């Protein structure tokens, strides 16, 4: 659904279907990916990517002349089942049929005949777990302070843990003094400011040692440290948490 630089389509034959909304991409597909399947992406009112209804006839006329297969018609909802967008989408369908196309896939937003998993894959059917390990465990005395700007003051002698992951890695800075990680099935508060690549936690309620696993973001939506609950703490949407997971962090597909 997203944008791909047309120059990238010249390198080798790709066995994909492509979402198209500009003639430059269509013409390059015709030249370097001949016979490929495309889904026409129509802008029905979100005013983001997509061919406008006004430009759609000329777009369809060009498609008729090229060696690409129109396999789908699609649009994206700005929110909910917007009546105006649905109306415009039906208009687009009629135009597509008028110009002789019969796409197999007709999909708008969250329609049931084409998968758009996105955020739902990580929240409604959570699959993502962000894990690190304790790099250091030590004691600090009552009244000692933690982190940049010394924003946390220990109320008693406290055992703390240092996690080698910070806001660069995706531990949102908004979790400073508010968020939680999970160690040995115990939720441990994040204390002090989250640093670029270090986060400090209070280990008072659990016995932990260097090397123990730390679940920064849980795959259980009910947990205090789930992506959704972390986002609420940070006053953000879950997407903002997910997109800030560093590319350098190792991924393991299970």
Output the domain CATH number for residue 103: 3.20.20.10
Residue that terminates a domain, selected from 55, 83, 116:
116
Query: Quick one: 100 and 199 in the same domain?
Result: no
Per-chain mean pLDDT for the chain: 90
pLDDT tier at 15, thresholds 50, 70, 90: confident
The answer for residues whose C-beta is within 8 angstroms of residue 200's C-beta and 6 or more apart is: 146, 147, 152, 160, 161, 162, 163, 190, 191, 192
Query: Is the same domain home to 44 and 14?
Result: yes
pLDDT of residue 253: 82
Answer yes or no: is pLDDT of 205 > 90. yes
Q: Is residue 121 part of a domain?
A: no
CA–CA separation, 184 and 186 (whole Å):
5
What pLDDT score was predicted for residue 114?
Answer: 64
Are 64 and 153 contained in the same domain?
Answer: no
| The predicted structure's pLDDT at residue 35 | 94
Whether residues 160 and 101 share a domain: the answer is no
Considering the domain architecture, whether residues 13 and 99 belong to the same structural domain is answered as yes
Q: How many domains does the chain have?
A: 2
pLDDT greater at residue 120 or residue 48: 48
- When pLDDT is averaged across residues 144-158 and rounded to a whole number, the result is 94
Indicate whether 111 pLDDT > 60: no
pTM of the prediction? 0.68
In this structure, are 111 and 205 located in the same domain?
no
pLDDT at 113: 53
In terms of residue numbers, what domain contains 230?
Answer: 130-242
Which residues, including other chains, have CB under 8 Å from residue 143's CB and lie 6 or more apart?
153, 154
Supply the pLDDT for residue 117. 61
Q: Clarify whether residues 136 and 237 are in a common domain.
A: yes
Q: Is residue 207 in some structural domain?
A: yes
Same domain, 109 and 136: no
Q: Are residues 235 and 171 in the same domain?
A: yes
Position 44 scores a pLDDT of 92
Query: How high is the pLDDT of residue 225?
Result: 97
């Amino acid at each position: 659904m997203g944008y791909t630089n047309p120059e990238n389509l010249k390198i080798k034959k790709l066995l994909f279907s492509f979402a198209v909304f500009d003639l430059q991409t269509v013409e390059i597909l015709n030249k370097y990916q001949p016979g490929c399947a495309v889904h026409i992406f129509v802008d029905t009112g979100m005013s983001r990517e997509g061919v406008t209804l006004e430009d759609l006839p000329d777009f369809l006329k060009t498609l008729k002349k090229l060696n690409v297969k129109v396999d789908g018609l699609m649009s994206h909802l700005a929110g909910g089942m917007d009546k105006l967008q649905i109306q415009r989408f039906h208009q687009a369908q009629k135009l597509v049929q008028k110009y002789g196309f019969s796409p197999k896939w007709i999909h708008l937003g969250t329609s049931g005949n084409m998968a758009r998993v996105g955020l739902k894959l990580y929240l409604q059917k959570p699959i993502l777990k962000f894990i690190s390990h304790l790099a250091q465990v030590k004691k600090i005395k009552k009244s000692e302070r933690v982190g940049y700007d010394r924003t946390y003051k220990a109320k008693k002698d406290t055992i703390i843990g240092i996690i080698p992951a910070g806001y660069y890695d995706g531990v949102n800075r908004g979790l400073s003094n508010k968020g939680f990680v999970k160690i040995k099935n115990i939720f441990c508060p994040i204390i002090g400011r989250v640093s670029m690549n270090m986060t400090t936690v209070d280990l008072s309620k659990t016995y932990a040692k260097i090397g123990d696993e730390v679940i920064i973001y849980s795959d259980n939506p009910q947990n205090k440290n789930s992506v959704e609950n972390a986002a609420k703490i940070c006053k953000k949407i879950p997407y903002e948490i997910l997109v800030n997971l560093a590319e350098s962090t190792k991924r393991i597909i299970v």
